[in-house]
Structure 1
Amino acid sequence: MLLCPVSPGHFYWLEPEHAFHPLQPYDTGRIALTFLQGSFDYAGWNFLNYVTEELIDPYRNLPRAIFISIPLVTFVYVFANIAYVTAMSPQELMASMFLFIRVNGSLFTSFRLFFAGAREGHLPHLLAMIHVNRCTPIPALLFTCISTLLMLCTSDIYTLINYVGFINYLFYGVTVAGQIVLRNKEPDIHRPIKVSSAWPVIFLIFWAFLLIFSLYSEPVVCGISLAIMLSGVPLYLFGVYWENKPKSFNSFVAKLTHFGQKLFMLVYPSEGHEDGNEDKEEAG
């Protein structure tokens, strides 16, 4: 189906004079921003890392899933885009909803960041709880939904994509750089999944190109992205670093957590697993 628009020789919208605006000046910064905006649609390449707890034997199956799925999905996406561009004009592409499917991967994985953060004590404990029967992390899902609705308050979707893309790649680069640092400082630590050191270096070179030229091209947008990211520092200092909080505050948080547990029938994952194991033992 992807080759159907191309095979008859319909290349009208693939020709440069029709696919691109004429007389546009060459700008490296704009190219970097284009990569950031395009990465928003291809962001599923890193989603597998968020669902390792759902995998059976992740040390074996995670590398297999990455090596098989990413080349396959890339191949399908490239030909899908060629088919779209061949069959539709740029104006029709702007009005279409075919990129909405990207939300499916985000819904399946993004809430796990809040779930894992709460489990580590960096967010309220309520976000680390799951439904007692369905094992669904309802608070983390609701928190993701509310934060997403707040981000949708902006009227410029492209600015929002630039915010998200810049922040995402900033964290990607810091994470990969941390991997290189840990390899040098902790060379003997147990690593079930190992990759060549060349790949992190190649990624950091590409990462530096994107962020430096994006910052040069859109300093205001990138500055706002940094401000949004740094806004979490005061919350971290208040919620995590400050341990000796007033008893009244701790009591309020405990009551709120208890209310959420009763409202959504929530327990900690360990409690749910223990109850499930006991039920199985009683049934046996």
Structure 2
Amino acid sequence: MANIAYLTVITPTAMIASNAIAVTFGNQLLGYMAWIIPVMVAVSAFGGLSVHIMTSSRMCFVGARNGHFPSMLSHINMSRLTPTPALIFLVPLWIPIVFVIICIFLVIVPCYERPYELGMGILITITGIPAYFFGVAWKNKPMWFQKINST
């Protein structure tokens, strides 16, 4: 369906010239809201990875319970109620190391390339801290505030 949508909006010549067809599609169809395309692609990738990790570890866990895998994979972490050995069995050590390196890169590079935009992002985040303390962390709110908040 995505390919059909691309073909209805973008000409084949524009597709060949494009480095990222989805971005070109978003620019032509959504205008100033085109930023939503890469965000949704990232959300989709994150969701797919989460599902893969959870279902794959569950298959190892159940396989170990049925005797198809070593019984060690059927153990459950009692504090978190997760099949931790099965999760560790599926994530080779180099993957989280590369992930952490990429995350560090993605945090450090914007500090040098776009310090103004980074500062604005930090400022927006900091403005939410008082709202968090006032609305969430403050547990002994006065009754009048609780009544306003519940209606």
- Give the TM-score normalised by structure 1: 0.28
- Give the TM-score normalised by structure 2: 0.48
Q: Which has the higher contact order (CA 8 A, sep 6+)?
A: 1
